[in-house]
Amino acid sequence: MSASDAIENLAHDSRSFEPNPEFAKTAVATSELYDQASNDRMAFWKAQAEKLHWHKPFTEALDWTYAPFARWFADGKLNVAYNCLDRHVEAGIGSRVALYFEGEPGDEQVYTYSTLLAAVKKAANALTALGVRQGDRVAIYLPMIPEAVISMLAVARIGAIHSVIFGGFSADSIASRIQDAHAKLVITSDGGYRKGKASPLKPAVDEALRGNNCPTVEHVLVVERTGGDVDWSEGRDIWWKDAMHAAHEEHVAEAFDAENPLFILYTSGTTGKPKGILHTSGGYLTQATYTHRNVFDLKPETDIYWCTADIGWITGHSYVTYGPLANGATQVIYEGTPDSPHPGRWWEIIQKYGVTQLYTAPTAIRSFMKLGRAIPDAFDLRSLRLLGSVGESINPEAWMWYREVIGGNRCPIVDTWWQTETGAIMISPLPGVTHTKPGSAQVALPGINAQVVDDEGNPVGNDHGGYLTVAEPWPSMLRGIWGDDERYVDTYWSRFDGQYFAGDGAKRDEDGDIWLLGRVDDVMNVSGHRLSTTEIESALVSHHWVAEAAVVGAKDELTGQAVVAFVILRQDEIADAPNEADLAKVLRDHVAKQIGPIAKPRQILVVSELPKTRSGKIMRRLLRDVAEDRPIGDVTTLADSGVMGAIGNKIAGGATD
pLDDT (tens digit, 9 = 90+) per residue, 297-334? 999 999 999 999 999 999 999 999 999 999 999 999 99
Per DSSP, 25 falls in state H
- Residue 634's pLDDT band (cuts 50, 70, 90): low
Q: In 10 A of CB 521, how many CB atoms?
A: 12
CATH superfamily to which 543-652 belongs: ANL, C-terminal domain (3.30.300.30)
C-alpha 522/C-alpha 503 separation (Å) is: 10
Q: What is the pLDDT of residue 528?
A: 60
Query: 3-class DSSP state for residue 495?
Result: coil
Task: Supply φ then ψ for residue 226, to 5 degrees.
Answer: -105, -20
Tell me what the mean pLDDT of segment 282-289 comes to: 98
pLDDT at residue 547 greater than cutoff 60: yes
- Residue 574's pLDDT band (cuts 50, 70, 90): confident
C-alpha 28/C-alpha 33 separation (Å) is: 9
Q: What is the pLDDT of residue 657?
A: 45
- Residue 97's pLDDT band (cuts 50, 70, 90): very high
C-alpha 653/C-alpha 49 separation (Å) is: 60
Answer yes or no: are the C-beta atoms of 182 and 213 closer than 8 Å: no
pLDDT at residue 347 greater than cutoff 60: yes
Closest by CA to 421, choosing from 308, 291, 266, 283, is 266
Q: What is the pLDDT of residue 652?
A: 54
Q: What is the pLDDT of residue 517?
A: 84
Q: What is the pLDDT of residue 637?
A: 58
Q: Can you spell out the DSSP letters for 193-214?
A: EETTEEEE-HHHHHHHHSTTSS
Q: Give the model confidence (pLDDT) of 397-456 as tens digits.
A: 999 999 999 999 999 999 999 999 999 999 999 998 999 999 999 999 999 999 999 999
Q: What is the pLDDT of residue 274?
A: 81
Q: What is the pLDDT of residue 5?
A: 42
- Residue 638's pLDDT band (cuts 50, 70, 90): low
- Residue 213's pLDDT band (cuts 50, 70, 90): very high
pTM, entire model: 0.86
Tell me what the mean pLDDT of segment 33-39 comes to: 94
Answer yes or no: are the C-beta atoms of 51 and 39 closer than 8 Å: no
Q: Which residue has the higher pLDDT, 619 or 381?
A: 381
C-alpha 36/C-alpha 104 separation (Å) is: 45
- Residue 2's pLDDT band (cuts 50, 70, 90): very low
pLDDT at residue 482 greater than cutoff 80: yes
CA 643 remoteness from chain centre? 23
Q: How many helices (H) and strands (E) does the chain have?
A: 22, 30
C-alpha 117/C-alpha 296 separation (Å) is: 25
Can you list the positions of beta strands (E) in 255-356? 256-257, 261-267, 275-280, 305-307, 331-334
Closest by CA to 421, choosing from 281, 284, 261, is 284
Q: What is the pLDDT of residue 561?
A: 81
In this structure, whether the domain defined by 112-254 belongs to CATH 3.40.50.980 is answered with yes
Mean model confidence pLDDT for the chain: 90
Task: Supply φ then ψ for residue 243, to 5 degrees.
Answer: -65, -40
Q: What is the pLDDT of residue 641?
A: 62
Q: Which residue has the higher pLDDT, 637 or 100?
A: 100
Lateral strand order in the sheet of 560-569 = 546-556, 560-569, 603-606
Tell me what the mean pLDDT of segment 217-245 comes to: 97
Q: What is the pLDDT of residue 626?
A: 81
pLDDT at residue 1 greater than cutoff 50: no
Q: What is the pLDDT of residue 9?
A: 44
Which amino acid, one-letter code, is at 203? P
Which whole-number Å values give the CA distances from 28 to 21, 24, 430, 434, in the listed order? 12, 7, 11, 12
Tell me what the mean pLDDT of segment 241-256 comes to: 98
Per DSSP, 319 falls in state I
C-alpha 230/C-alpha 261 separation (Å) is: 33
Q: Which residue has the higher pLDDT, 604 or 150?
A: 150
Secondary element (H or E) of residue 99 = strand 97-102
Q: Which residue has the higher pLDDT, 26 or 70?
A: 70
CA 98 remoteness from chain centre? 21
Closest by CA to 567, choosing from 404, 366, 339, 401, is 366
Pairing of strands 450-453, 464-470: antiparallel
pLDDT at residue 276 greater than cutoff 50: yes
Q: Which residue has the higher pLDDT, 377 or 545?
A: 377
Pairing of strands 413-415, 191-194: unpaired
Closest by CA to 191, choosing from 179, 180, 181, 205, is 205
Domain boundaries, the chain: 112-254, 543-652
Pairing of strands 464-470, 504-508: antiparallel
Who contacts 359 (Cβ-Cβ below 8 Å, separation ≥6)? 296, 305, 306, 307, 308, 309, 315, 319, 387, 388, 389, 390
